[in-house]
Amino acid sequence: MSGARPRRPLRLRLRGLAAALLAGLAAWLAAAPARAQALLADLSQNQLGITTGFTGAQLLLFGAIEGGGDILVVARGPNHDIVVRRKARVAGIWVNGLEARYREIPSYYAVIGTAPAHDILPEDVRRRLGIGIDSLPLLARGPGAADPGFTEALVTLKRTEGLYGENEVEFALLAGRLFQTRIALPDTVLTGRYMIEVHLVRDRAVVQTVTLPLTVRREGLGAEIWRFAREFELLYGLGAILLAALAGWLGSILFRR
């Protein structure tokens, strides 16, 4: 009796999918050179589930252009609020000092392209479209709002966590027409709706944009625990206290023995 056919590794399957999709795009371009649409783009998936074992994901973005040009991909996560604090030493003890509060800033932000954005677009266009970390409106409030060091610390923290980045992923442009790249999401991404904008740039101007939505959501046991914590906050808190007390009691018995 013959055994089951071995499954190919996920990376090989993704490469095969990318090759097939790019081949299809090439055929489309060859068959319809006169179409007005000069840019086509899509994602390998438009929904991403986060489970308790989620360690990050890399989504495949692919497409094709007609007539040449540069490509800029901008990925944005759902907005959130964040507070940046500066530690101060008081009487030999480190305590929270000045702070700056940032409201409604992208929780995730990445730019990938065939060339750096500042090389192919003027500053006013980049700021108007929010292309590039230096073009994001990271406006602070609070006692430390006037200190640019807080914004620098915020960006550094986001970069370290893999949540902000520019041109840190390879961008492949084949024969000047077909392209593919990856959207790298770390395990710390927030759930919600993400938007991926694919810009076609010619003569230092954006001539066409394709917007691709991506939904990140919790799945499995982690999702049920999260929903319970949101809907029954008091019960969840009491349960957490009881579990912590039980764990401490069991630990004391084990160590006593």
Q: Provide the pLDDT for residue 104.
A: 94
Q: What are 79's two structure tokens?
A: 């907005």
Q: Say if strands 171-174 and 140-141 run parallel, antiparallel, or are unpaired.
A: unpaired
3-state secondary structure 155-185: HHHHHHCCCEEECCCCEEEECCCEEEEEEEE
* Lowest pLDDT segment from 72-81, 200-209, 216-225, 240-249: 216-225
The more confident residue out of 246 and 34 is 246
Q: Does the structure show a pLDDT above 50 at 4? A: no
Contact of 207 with 38, CB cutoff 8 Å? yes
Neighbours of 155 (CB within 10 A): 16
Instruction: Write down all domains in the chain, each with its CATH number in brackets.
Output: 10-219 (2.60.40.1930)
Q: Does 22 score more than 80 pLDDT?
A: no
Mean per-residue pLDDT of the chain: 82
CB 112 within 8 A of CB 73: yes
Q: What is the mean predicted confidence (pLDDT) over 100-108?
A: 95
Greater confidence (257 vs 241) lies with: 241
Structure confidence at residue 2 (pLDDT): 41
Q: Of 157, 201, 159, give the one whose Cα is nearest residue 184.
A: 159
Average pLDDT over residues 88-103: 82
Per residue, what are the HEC states of 13-35? HHHHHHHHHHHHHHHHHHHCCCC
- Judge residue 84's burial from the number of C-beta atoms within 10 Å of its C-beta, 0-12 exposed, 13-18 middle, 19 or more buried: buried
| Structure confidence by residue, pLDDT tens digits, 144-173 | 888 899 999 999 999 999 999 998 888 888
More confident position, 224 or 63: 63
Beta bridge partners of 93: 90
Contact call for residues 99 and 142 (beta carbons, < 8 A): yes
C-beta atoms surrounding 208 within 10 Å = 17
The larger pLDDT score, comparing residue 240 to residue 53, is at 53
Q: What average pLDDT score do residues 171-180 get?
A: 87
Radius of gyration for the alpha carbons in the chain, expressed in angstroms and rounded: 24
Residue 148 CB contacts under 8 Å (≥ 6 apart), including other chains: none
Residue 232: the pLDDT is 58
Pairing of strands 140-141, 93-106: antiparallel
C-alpha–C-alpha distance, residues 99 and 147, integer Å = 10
Separation between Cα atoms, residue 116 and residue 113, nearest integer Å? 6
- Residue range 127-148: mean pLDDT, rounded: 91
Cα 42–109–72 angle (5° rounding)? 50
CB-based contacts of 169: which residues, under 8 Å, 6+ apart? 110, 112, 181, 182, 183, 184
Distance, CA of 239 to CA of 233 (rounded, Å): 10
pLDDT band at 98 (very low <50, low <70, confident <90, very high): confident
Residue 6: both structure tokens together: 């071995």
**Residue 206: pLDDT over 70:** yes
pLDDT at 53 over 90: no
Most confident of the following: 6-15, 53-62, 203-212: 203-212
Closest Cα partner for 18 from 49, 42, 38? Answer: 42
Mean pLDDT over residues 16-39, rounded? 56
